[in-house]
């Protein structure tokens, strides 16, 4: 592989197999059928390729009722609570500090120092991120999410009644653990149930619901609603409300077909799920791809986080997916929201109206994330990420200049520049860096290593969030209005790395990306015309539609897979 990253101008090709064990496992399964491929004439290959392309149209589709309910239910139930928990406490800072002060006095009989109170407040905010980091590595994400979020609501509701700050700490910790598990599952499920032509748009739904959760927490946290000293615990407890809706619609949501075939080996259930999700009775091509995924899993040991960290061919895609998630948090978006109150106040907005202006900025964030649902399929992932980086860099530079001009030169008119820069920063974040990182891993990795890779990506996202949450208060004290500078450096470094190393994933299957990075290990793939698989499999697919015998109908694709693997062995000698 070129040290500068995958060469996107060259045809997809396979890299050397990284381990002898995997090679031996694959070769054991190859068989002696490669001569079948050599008998195909050029005309037969062209004909079968066209037949295969017709059948592969089954893999595309439009949004329908079942798919919409499934996507909305899962993203609302798993993604929105994470956003709600992220945004719910900051507007209630004064009320929470008052509670912490009272609880401390009752517990220790003395008033806490200002430093102690600030430390307790920081722990309340950041301990949620610690729980999220742990939860992001959970393998039983759905069960963990529902149980822990429900339990956290109980602790939230009772902490003030019991006057127990420990109960608040515990509520934040376990809700973070639950949301960390759910935030990894949601984009994975959304991209697995989506047709390939709208996969990116479906993946953005996770970030869209996250921003909606932040906005809802801000709206309900208004002083006229639940943002009061006696009611803020009940506001926090509402985090479990979306989970109840999710439980109500789960019986009507089909399981992920990929999960049913690869993990449970239940092809009948997977075929039924595909027909519901696609609103199409012809799903043979999609089922073939799922069988190939299962065959890969059979030829390889179960992928763990430790395994993908050791395999050298995984290093670049893993760096990309973890790096872009870290960049999302190290971009300075949280700092921009932190400064929003001060910037809006200096611009002349009345104090009692600033909370509404902050909510308006949150609404802009939601709106632009919604727009990115369409943009991500039109312009691609890489272009949006790069444009997002450039726009945020320029806006952050202008905001830094404006903040310093207002402070050192008493240039109040620069407040308007600061407001425009702040809004522009949020818009550019939402259009690319805010929505793409969460689902990028599902496009770069095959089914086997995908859960482990996305768990590491989610861990990186939570780690970056924790890093900013812990260090920013000190940066604000020591760097003042210059605290954006470290984030500008992070944006610049991330831009260069993604520009050089990240290939465009729009219109490409995970098989294509695995072949590009050399992480397919000689396994069968569905990609472009350069693969002999198309010529071998398509003819079997055509006959499969005309075969009335059920048992034979199920065995034909398996035979095709075996023949394809044999053909690959005859065409390319495995390098070790």
How far is it, in rounded angstroms, from Cα 445 to Cα 228? 46
Q: Identify the residue with better confidence: 84 or 520.
A: 84
Q: What confidence tier does 397 reach under pLDDT thresholds 50, 70, 90?
A: very high
Q: What confidence tier does 385 reach under pLDDT thresholds 50, 70, 90?
A: very high
Three-state secondary structure string covering 204-233:
HHHHHHHHHHHHHHHHHCCCCCCCCCCCHH
The overall longest dimension of the chain from CA atoms, in Å, is 90
How many domains does the structure of the chain reveal? 2
Asked if 440 and 541 sit in the same domain, the reply is no
The pLDDT tens digits of the residues spanning 305-352 come to 788 888 888 888 899 999 999 999 899 887 777 667 767 776 667 777
Asked if 562 and 420 sit in the same domain, the reply is no
pLDDT at 51 over 80: no
pLDDT at 544 over 50: no
Give a yes or no: residue 74 inside a domain: yes
pLDDT at 457 over 60: yes
**505 near 366, Cβ under 8 Å?**
no
How far is it, in rounded angstroms, from Cα 188 to Cα 192? 6
pLDDT at 241: 86
pLDDT at 221: 87
Asked if 121 and 80 sit in the same domain, the reply is yes
pLDDT at 59: 52
How far is it, in rounded angstroms, from Cα 454 to Cα 185? 9
Give a yes or no: residue 490 inside a domain: yes
Give a yes or no: residue 258 inside a domain: no
Asked if 335 and 367 sit in the same domain, the reply is yes
pLDDT at 3 over 50: no
Asked if 498 and 563 sit in the same domain, the reply is no
Q: What confidence tier does 492 reach under pLDDT thresholds 50, 70, 90?
A: very high
Asked if 236 and 133 sit in the same domain, the reply is yes
Q: What confidence tier does 493 reach under pLDDT thresholds 50, 70, 90?
A: very high
Helix (H, G, I), strand (E, B) or coil at 291: helix
Give a yes or no: residue 361 inside a domain: yes
Asked if 76 and 216 sit in the same domain, the reply is yes
- Structural domain ending residue among the three candidates 510, 525, 548: 510
**417 near 398, Cβ under 8 Å?**
yes
The pLDDT tens digits of the residues spanning 356-368 come to 888 888 888 888 8
Give a yes or no: residue 10 inside a domain: no
Which residues, 6 or more positions from 552, have their beta carbon under 8 angstroms from its beta carbon? none
Which residues, 6 or more positions from 494, have their beta carbon under 8 angstroms from its beta carbon? 323, 324, 327, 330, 331, 389
Domain interval for residue 573? 534-576
Asked if 244 and 380 sit in the same domain, the reply is yes
DSSP string, 377-431: HHH-HHHHHHHHHHHHHHHHHHHHHHHHHHHHS--TTHHHHHHHHHHHHHHHIII
Cα 455 to Cα 76, 182, 433, 462, distances in angstroms? 20, 11, 19, 11
Put simply, whether the predicted model's pTM sits higher than 0.75 gets the answer: no
Give a yes or no: residue 274 inside a domain: no
Q: What confidence tier does 489 reach under pLDDT thresholds 50, 70, 90?
A: very high
Asked if 347 and 461 sit in the same domain, the reply is yes
pLDDT at 424: 92
Give a yes or no: residue 401 inside a domain: yes
Give a yes or no: residue 359 inside a domain: yes
Asked if 457 and 393 sit in the same domain, the reply is yes
- Structural domain ending residue among the three candidates 476, 510, 544: 510
Average pLDDT, the chain: 74
Which CATH number is 204's domain given?
Answer: 1.20.1250.20
Asked if 150 and 231 sit in the same domain, the reply is yes
Asked if 502 and 543 sit in the same domain, the reply is no
């Amino acid at each position: 592989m070129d040290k500068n990253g995958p060469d996107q101008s060259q045809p997809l090709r396979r890299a050397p197999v990284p381990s002898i064990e995997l090679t031996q496992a694959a070769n054991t399964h190859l068989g002696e059928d490669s001569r079948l491929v050599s008998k195909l004439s050029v005309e037969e290959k062209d004909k079968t390729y066209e037949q295969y392309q017709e059948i592969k149209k089954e893999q595309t589709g439009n949004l329908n009722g079942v798919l919409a309910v499934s996507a909305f239910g899962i993203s609302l139930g798993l993604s929105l609570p994470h956003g709600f928990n992220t945004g719910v406490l900051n507007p209630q800072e004064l009320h929470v500090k008052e509670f912490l002060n009272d609880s401390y006095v009752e517990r220790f009989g003395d008033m806490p120092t200002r430093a102690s109170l600030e430390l307790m407040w920081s722990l309340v905010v950041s301990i949620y991120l610690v729980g999220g980091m742990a939860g992001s590595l959970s393998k039983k994400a759905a069960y963990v999410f529902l149980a822990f979020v429900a339990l956290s609501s109980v602790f939230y509701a009772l902490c003030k009644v019991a006057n127990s700050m420990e109960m608040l700490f515990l509520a934040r910790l376990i809700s973070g653990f639950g949301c960390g598990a759910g935030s990894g599952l949601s984009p994975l499920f959304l991209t697995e149930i989506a047709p390939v032509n709208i996969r990116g748009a479906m993946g953005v739904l996770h970030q869209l619901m996250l921003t909606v959760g932040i906005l809802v927490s801000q709206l309900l946290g208004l002083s006229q609603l639940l943002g009061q000293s006696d009611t803020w615990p009940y506001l926090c407890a509402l985090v479990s409300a979306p989970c109840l809706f999710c439980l109500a619609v789960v019986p009507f949501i089909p399981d992920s077909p990929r999960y049913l075939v690869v993990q449970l080996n239940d092809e009948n259930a997977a075929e039924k799920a595909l027909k519901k999700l696609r609103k199409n009775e012809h799903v043979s091509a999609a089922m073939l791809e799922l069988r190939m995924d299962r065959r890969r899993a059979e030829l390889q040991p179960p992928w763990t986080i430790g395994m993908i960290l050791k395999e050298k061919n995984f290093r670049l895609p893993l760096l990309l997916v973890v790096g872009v998630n870290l960049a999302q948090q190290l971009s300075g978006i949280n700092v921009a929201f932190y400064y929003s109150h001060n910037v809006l106040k200096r611009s002349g907005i009345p104090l009692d109206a600033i909370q509404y202006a902050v909510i308006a900025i949150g609404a802009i964030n939601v709106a632009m994330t919604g727009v990115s649902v369409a943009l991500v399929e039109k312009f691609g992932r890489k272009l949006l990420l790069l444009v997002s980086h450039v726009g945020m860099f320029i806006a952050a530079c202008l905001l830094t200049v404006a903040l310093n001009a207002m402070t050192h030169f008493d240039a109040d008119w620069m407040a308007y520049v600061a407001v425009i820069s702040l809004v522009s920063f949020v818009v550019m974040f939402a259009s690319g860096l805010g929505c793409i990182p969460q689902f990028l891993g599902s496009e770069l990795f095959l089914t086997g290593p995908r859960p482990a890779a996305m768990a590491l990506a989610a861990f990186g996202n939570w780690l970056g969030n924790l890093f900013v949450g812990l260090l920013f208060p000190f940066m604000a004290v020591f760097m003042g209005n210059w605290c954006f500078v470290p984030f500008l450096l992070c944006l610049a470094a991330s831009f260069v790395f993604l520009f050089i190393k990240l290939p465009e994933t729009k219109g490409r299957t995970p098989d294509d990306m695995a072949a590009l990075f050399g992480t397919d290990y000689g396994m069968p793939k569905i990609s472009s015309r350069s693969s002999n698989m198309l010529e071998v499999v398509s003819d079997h697919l055509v006959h499969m539609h005309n075969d009335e015998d059920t048992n034979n109908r199920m065995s034909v694709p398996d035979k095709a897979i075996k023949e394809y693997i044999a053909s690959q062995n005859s065409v390319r000698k495995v390098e070790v």
